[in-house]
């Protein structure tokens, strides 16, 4: 599997200086005509260089190490079909191992040495929090963070940073609304990552689920020296609480450990998971690997798990977006599983290309930020984006689904909501737009 691409880009000093001057000047209206030229750091007449930090190894790598290669596959598809106004996207993603200190090092390299035009889809809440202030201080577009932390919506503090996926408060509200309606009076417990990821999720759950039903809250440390032992202890506490429903905001590795710990303790609550830790192919594979099993063992352990999704289900083979991305997958990254991580990577890349086309033929960094601030079409997501000059949240809704035979089966329509305690969870009735025939925005 391709991990990252080392690029030898050494622009002439005069050209680099001109690029930086143009970027500093900014622009309120992108250029839509004229000869292609170097208009900002990372932009030449023929290429667009962007960068990212990704967990290609480490505790968060299972499944997530597919996201950047999938994004790159979509960029290669765009490059092969004319590029963005004729420019090819070059995507350099570096391994940070889901370790904030490494994230700081690789992001500084991407910005100060490689002079990327933008940071794209940097993955992880704790990791990206470590670099968002620096990225914004350097005035580098920080687009579509691969994390649902509500903290990315801070345009007055971090004007360059934009979320992409549904934020964890909204997601918690949508999951919580479903649980409150379908598990009235039952004992409910939370299992969550002890940082903004998990804390935002349980905040949203708490807006919808009566506190009287919550019998336990068990946080895990993603940097635990012995994750299996830690999860075992927490699972024993969940069982002792006699919770009938366990709702998890956890990365895939910890979701798999939770499910195996439940099995070892003969504990079988209804498991509800945020979309972060519920990709069926990823979780099933981890369960098989950790338990040293094969075949349908992993699938059987997640059958009936309830989750949510803000992208179309891979089980819906009639969906035009699934058809498009499956075709690109088969052509560019056939050795990777066609799972939710690949879908995520391609969908985020599609949104980035939407923004680049809107930014104009010779964009500055400010042009790209302005393009997102003025709103983007819905595209791949099942609900609209929140983007505006005063709102840097991404997707605003999701649908509830159940895992059946290794795929997500929707249990109802898309629901949308906001981040507030009193904002209603309502049905979104507008049909998802079809993918463009060309596959290019």
pLDDT per residue as tens digits for the range 179-211: 999 999 999 999 999 999 999 999 999 999 999
For residue range 334-373, what is the model confidence (pLDDT) as tens digits?
999 999 999 999 999 999 999 999 999 999 999 999 999 9
Residue 39 Cα distances to 136, 246, 357, 369, 431, angstroms: 19, 52, 15, 15, 38
- In this structure, what token pair is assigned to residue 280? 């069926």
- In this structure, what token pair is assigned to residue 40? 């900002």
pTM listed for this prediction: 0.90
What's the rounded Cα separation, in Å, for the pair 9 and 115?
A: 9
Pairing of strands 397-404, 306-309: antiparallel
Straight-line distance from the first to the last Cα atom of the chain, in angstroms, rounded to the nearest whole number: 28
- In this structure, what token pair is assigned to residue 192? 């969550």
Residue 25 pairs in a beta bridge with none
For residues 165 and 194, is the Cβ–Cβ distance under 8 A? Answer: no
pLDDT at 28 over 60: no
pLDDT at 59 over 60: yes
Sole residue written with tokens 């709103």? 375
pLDDT at site 34: 76
DSSP conformational letter for 419: S
Residues contacting residue 340 through CB under 8 Å, at least 6 positions apart: 63, 275, 279, 280, 281, 282, 309, 311, 314
Place 33 in a pLDDT band, splitting at 50, 70 and 90.
low
Would you call 81 helix, strand, or coil by DSSP?
Answer: coil
pLDDT at 121 over 80: yes
pLDDT at site 84: 98
Domains of the chain listed by start with CATH number:
13-166+317-395 (3.40.50.2300), 168-309 (3.40.50.2300)
For residues 345 and 69, is the Cβ–Cβ distance under 8 A? Answer: yes
- In this structure, what token pair is assigned to residue 321? 């977006």
- In this structure, what token pair is assigned to residue 236? 């024993």
Pairing of strands 397-404, 415-416: antiparallel
For residue range 410-423, what is the model confidence (pLDDT) as tens digits?
999 999 999 999 99
């Amino acid at each position: 599997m391709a991990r990252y691409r080392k690029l030898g880009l050494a622009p002439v000093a005069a050209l680099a200086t001109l690029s930086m001057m143009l970027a500093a000047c900014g622009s309120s209206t992108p250029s839509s005509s004229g000869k292609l030229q170097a208009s900002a750091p990372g932009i030449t007449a023929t290429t667009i260089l962007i960068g990212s930090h990704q967990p290609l190894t480490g505790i968060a790598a299972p499944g997530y190490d597919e996201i950047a290669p999938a994004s790159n596959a979509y960029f290669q598809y765009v490059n092969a079909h004319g590029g963005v106004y004729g420019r090819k996207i070059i995507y350099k993603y570096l391994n940070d191992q889901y370790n904030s200190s490494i994230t700081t090092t690789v992001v500084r390299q991407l910005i100060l040495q490689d002079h990327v035009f933008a940071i794209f889809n940097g993955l992880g809440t704790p990791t990206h929090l470590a670099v968002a202030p620096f990225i914004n201080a350097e005035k580098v577009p920080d687009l579509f963070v691969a994390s649902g932390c509500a903290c990315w919506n801070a345009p007055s503090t971090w004007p360059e940073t934009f979320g992409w996926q549904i934020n964890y408060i909204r997601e918690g509200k949508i999951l919580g609304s479903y649980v409150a309606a379908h598990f009235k009076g039952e004992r409910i417990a939370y299992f969550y990552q002890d940082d903004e990821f998990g804390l935002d999720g349980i905040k949203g759950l708490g807006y919808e689920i009566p506190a009287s039903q919550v019998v336990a809250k068990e946080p895990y440390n993603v940097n635990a020296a012995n994750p299996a032992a830690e999860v075992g202890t927490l699972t024993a506490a969940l069982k002792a609480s006699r919770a009938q429903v366990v709702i998890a905001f956890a990365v895939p590795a910890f979701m798999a450990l939770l499910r195996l710990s439940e099995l070892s303790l003969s504990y079988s609550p209804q498991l509800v998971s945020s979309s972060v830790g519920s990709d069926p192919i990823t979780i099933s594979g981890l369960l098989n690997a950790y338990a040293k099993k094969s075949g349908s063992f992993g699938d059987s352990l997640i059958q009936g798990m309830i989750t949510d999704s803000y992208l179309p289900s891979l089980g819906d083979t009639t969906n035009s977006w699934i058809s498009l991305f499956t075709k690109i997958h088969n052509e560019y990254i056939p050795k990777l599983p066609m799972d939710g991580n690949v879908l995520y990577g391609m969908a985020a890349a599609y949104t980035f290309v939407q923004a680049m086309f809107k930014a104009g033929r010779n964009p500055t960094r400010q042009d790209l930020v302005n393009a997102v601030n003025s709103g983007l079409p819905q595209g791949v997501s099942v609900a609209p984006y929140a983007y505006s000059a005063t709102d840097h949240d991404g997707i605003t809704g999701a649908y509830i689904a159940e895992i059946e035979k290794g795929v997500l089966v929707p249990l109802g329509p898309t629901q949308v909501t906001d981040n507030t305690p009193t904002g209603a969870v309502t049905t979104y009735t507008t049909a998802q737009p079809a993918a463009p025939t060309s596959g290019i925005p």
